[in-house]
Structures are given as structure tokens and as C-alpha cells.
Amino acid sequence: MIIPCIDLMGGKVVQLVQGREKALEAEGPLEMLEKFKAFPQIQVIDLDAAMGQGSNDDLVELVASRATARVGGGVRTPDRAGRLIQQGAHRVIVGTAAFNRPLLEQISQSIGPERLIIALDSKAGRVVVKGWQESTEFTAEQIIRDLEPYCSGFLCTYVDKEGMLQGTDLDWFRRLRTSTGHELTAAGGITTLEEIRELQKLGIHAALGMAIYTERLNLDVLASMQSSLG
């Protein structure tokens, strides 16, 4: 599955490079939803909430009410996870909270593991949290299996290449694929149709951001590819 991304910051749709530098602002979320209507799911990340500097709740609710959306960013309590489901989110993405096991258990129980995706974002070989601002001691490969009981899938971002349009690390995703039987979604630097095809061969979804917004990848071509995937 090909999953277009809508990242929200300061009330706008944006794209960042490695989670720090804002590279561009796009059209509003409704305009982006119209462009993405050929795709079965959308990914929505509230970057302000992820970084602990506010939220874009109204926009998140707007998108979640009009598309099949997996939503994340600052989901650190069962209440917030439940609220996102109530707002229309199809599934909820949790990152930082996944490393507080009692909290993860509470969130998983509150919405059900089938609605929960855990984000395992890697920078310099280590999982990063708190909006990619803090590094942990773990690699994704080390901990992914331990987290399986709490979720139905993992969103794995290769932060080193995020937003740089330089390609991603397919070897990392191959290692992750051998580490878990759960659903995997790849993100971070995916730039070419060849990379998407290789991920599909591995049984891994592709979440796309910068390559779409800069038109490096053509939406019509991607929509046709998605249609062929069924």
C-alpha cells in the first residue's frame, strides 16, 4: 500500500528535513485530501503535538473525519488515543509512549491493539523519540518483537534520510522485515518507484511525503501503482 502523508505544524501542511528544518508549506489539508483521494489510507502527523509545542487538533479532526487516516503526534495518554479514535482516526500511531511499558499497555487496552501502530524511528542507528529530538539506547531490530503484543503494526522511519530526497535504506527495512511478522510501513527518504516496488516485494507499505510534495514522484503514476496492488 502507498500511503501519502499530511504533516501539520502551526496550522499548515508542511514538510521537514530530518524533523528539524521546514522545507516547504503545501496547500491546505482539504486540498491535499482531494489530491490523495485515489489512495486507500492517509497518514496524518501533528508535528506540534509530537514536539510538545501545541497541537493542530481541529485540522486532525477535519482530516480524520473525511479520510481513512492513521493519526499520530504527541499521543502519550490513553485519553488522547481514545479522543483521536472518536474524532475519526482509523488507527493511532504512538512513538514516545511505547517506551513507557505501563503507559503503552494502558493505551493498547484503551483502543485495542488492532487500532494501534507503534512508531520506531531510527537516527544514527538508534530509536529516537519526542519528535526525533531524543535518542534511546535501543535499535529498532532489538525491540520490535517485544512490542508486538501491544499493536498491529509498526511505522518505521529512517530519519537520517527523511525529507532529503536521497533515497532510503532498504537494507534496514529488510532487517526489520525479518524481525517481525507484524505489518510494517516504511518512511524516510523514499524517492523512487524502484524503492516502492522493492518495499512492496518485502510486504512493506510505503509512506510518502517530500517526494510527493516536490513532485519527484507523480501522483497519477503512484495512484496507478496503488490500483495495481489492489
Q: What is the DSSP string of 155-196?
A: EEEBGGGTTSSS---HHHHHHHHHH-SSEEEEESS--SHHHH
Q: Percentage of residues in the chain with pLDDT exceeding 90? A: 78
- 21-53, pLDDT tens digit by residue? 777 888 889 999 999 999 999 999 999 998 888
pLDDT at 211 over 90: yes
Q: Mean of the pLDDT values across residues 58-74?
A: 93
Question: Under CATH, what is the fold of the domain 2-229?
Answer: TIM Barrel (3.20.20)
Q: Percentage of residues in the chain with pLDDT exceeding 70? A: 98
Beta bridge partners of 123: 126
> pTM of the prediction?
0.94
Among 46, 48, 58, 121, the one annotated catalytic: 121
- 137-170, pLDDT tens digit by residue? 989 999 999 999 999 999 999 988 776 778 899 9
pLDDT reported for residue 225: 94
| 121 a catalytic residue | yes
Contact 6, 63 (CB under 8 A): yes
For residue 22, which phi and psi values (nearest 5 degrees)? -75, 120
Quote the distance between the C-alpha of residue 173 and its chain's center. Answer: 15
Please give the mean pLDDT across all residues of the chain: 92
Phi-psi region of 214 (alpha: psi -120 to 50; beta: other; left: phi over 0): alpha
Contact 85, 66 (CB under 8 A): no
Q: Mean of the pLDDT values across residues 53-79?
A: 93
Q: Are strands 134-135 and 153-157 parallel, antiparallel or unpaired?
A: unpaired
pLDDT band at 230 (very low <50, low <70, confident <90, very high): low
Residue ranges per structural domain of the chain = 2-229
pLDDT reported for residue 136: 86
Residue 59 vs residues 80, 84, 221, 228, 230: alpha-carbon distances, Å: 15, 12, 28, 31, 29
Among 7, 57, 58, 79, the one annotated catalytic: 7
pLDDT reported for residue 162: 78
Place of cell 518483537: 145
